[in-house]
């Protein structure tokens, strides 16, 4: 009989400067301003999760999420953390939106449950340990500088580069042209417009990019315009991946029904593991392959994301390079990078934690009964 209950929850603010600041179509990023949630039980086992609040993606900030996390924590105290379906159903029942805040608790619950089961998270989810291959991302900048960065990534052993675009047709085409010249024909180029184009510009730009063998394009137009996304897809030989337009399984169903995209980009900050599994199931049912992407997470959240990729063969792409851009690594355990390869641990849970000497210095609120 299960007698595990939640006794207290710690909520931390974690701020890490980026060693590689970068620009996308709508913003410039210099810091990872994240949250850590640690769920404790009466047995002494705890689960830990991380989230990245993002004003343009999840609609929140670190401070607003810090407050919301305290609200969520008060509703979890005294409950069974192993009943994940019930806990997430309750959470979604009393709180709309705020997906980043929810995702930190979601991750901690899965970590805790897998630890109690004595299983690595990928096995707890019914999968096996697979080596994951990630791309490496280049922010928007001068085309020549971006081409140099791409060549450096290839020298480091990456077989795929992700290129941020979304400014205007001529500049974006020049960026991809110079990158292709710099890295040759055997390296995959993935592009991400981050909603930066209108429908006409997207169609014209993707048409002009056809000679450069682009693997896929993420979110070419504004996230609410699924009809526009469908028009872009219908007029592009480059496959289209939904990102900001897909937060949960309802979005996945709508996009699949509308034939608006070729791929789904699942991010834990948008969906959490619980909803991510449903998104992938919708994709698998509709014949749509998936990717798991990232924002500016540490290796803690990326470890959980890698376990998810490993557990679901329908997830064929991984964009899990964010820790490579952080100026500090506060994480112990968890995934290990070997060039482009991500090695997943076989320890119970997702295997990652925040080093005690680091977490002890963070701003924290503890919620108890």
User: Does residue 267 have an active-site annotation?
Assistant: yes
User: What CA–CA distance (Å, rounded) separates 244 from 27?
Assistant: 14
From the list 10, 60, 135, 218, the catalytic residue is 218
User: What CA–CA distance (Å, rounded) separates 337 from 133?
Assistant: 9
**154 within 8 A of 181, measured Cβ to Cβ:** no
**221 within 8 A of 228, measured Cβ to Cβ:** yes
Q: What is the DSSP letter of 3?
A: -
User: Does residue 192 have an active-site annotation?
Assistant: yes
User: What CA–CA distance (Å, rounded) separates 196 from 139?
Assistant: 13
User: What CA–CA distance (Å, rounded) separates 105 from 9?
Assistant: 10
From the list 102, 164, 169, 270, the catalytic residue is 164
Question: Which stretch of DSSP H or E encloses residue 268?
Answer: helix 268-286
From the list 169, 267, 270, 289, the catalytic residue is 267
Which residues does residue 18 pair with via DSSP β-bridges, in sequence order?
326
From the list 243, 244, 319, 321, the catalytic residue is 243
User: Does residue 230 have an active-site annotation?
Assistant: no
Question: Which stretch of DSSP H or E encloses residue 199?
Answer: helix 199-209
From the list 172, 192, 244, 251, the catalytic residue is 192
**346 within 8 A of 120, measured Cβ to Cβ:** yes
Which residues does residue 314 pair with via DSSP β-bridges, in sequence order?
none
DSSP 136-163: EEE-S--HHHHHHHHHHHHHTT-SEEEE
Q: What is the DSSP letter of 65?
A: H
* Residues annotated as catalytic (active site), given as ranges: 164, 192, 218, 243, 267
């Amino acid at each position: 009989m299960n007698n595990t209950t939640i006794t207290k929850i710690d909520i931390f603010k974690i701020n890490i400067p980026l060693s590689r600041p970068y620009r996308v179509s709508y913003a410039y990023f210099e810091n990872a301003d994240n949250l850590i949630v640690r769920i404790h039980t009466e047995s002494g086992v705890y689960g830990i999760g991380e989230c990245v609040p993002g004003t343009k993606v999840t609609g929140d900030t670190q401070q607003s999420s810090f407050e919301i996390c305290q609200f969520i924590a008060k509703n979890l105290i005294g409950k069974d953390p192993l009943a994940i379906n019930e806990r997430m159903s309750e959470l979604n029942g009393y709180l709309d939106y705020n997906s980043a805040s929810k995702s930190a608790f979601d991750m901690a619950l899965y970590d805790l449950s897998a630890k109690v089961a004595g299983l690595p998270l990928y096995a707890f989810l019914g999968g096996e340990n697979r080596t994951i291959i990630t791309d490496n991302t280049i922010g928007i900048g001068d085309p020549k500088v971006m081409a140099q960065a791409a060549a450096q990534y290839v020298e480091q052993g990456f077989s795929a580069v992700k290129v941020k675009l979304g400014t205007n047709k001529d500049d974006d085409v020049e960026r991809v042209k110079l990158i292709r010249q710099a890295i040759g024909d055997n390296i995959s180029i993935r592009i991400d417009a981050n909603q930066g184009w209108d429908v006409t510009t997207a169609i014209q730009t993707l048409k002009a990019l056809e000679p450069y063998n682009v693997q896929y394009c993420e979110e070419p137009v504004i996230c609410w315009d699924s009809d526009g996304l469908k028009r872009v897809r219908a007029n592009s030989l480059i496959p289209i991946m939904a990102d900001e337009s897909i937060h949960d399984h309802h979005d996945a169903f709508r996009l699949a029904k509308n034939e608006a995209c070729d791929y789904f980009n699942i991010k834990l900050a948008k969906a959490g593991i619980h909803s991510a599994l449903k998104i992938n199931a919708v994709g698998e049912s509709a014949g749509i392959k998936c990717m798991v992407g990232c924002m500016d997470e540490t290796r803690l959240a990326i470890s959980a994301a890698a376990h998810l990729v490993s557990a679901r063969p329908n997830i064929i792409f991984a964009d899990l390079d964010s820790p490579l851009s952080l100026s500090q690594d506060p994480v112990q355990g968890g995934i290990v990078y070997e060039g482009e390869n991500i090695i997943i641990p076989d320890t119970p849970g997702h295997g990652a934690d925040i080093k005690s000497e680091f977490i002890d210095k963070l701003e924290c609120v503890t919620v108890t009964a």
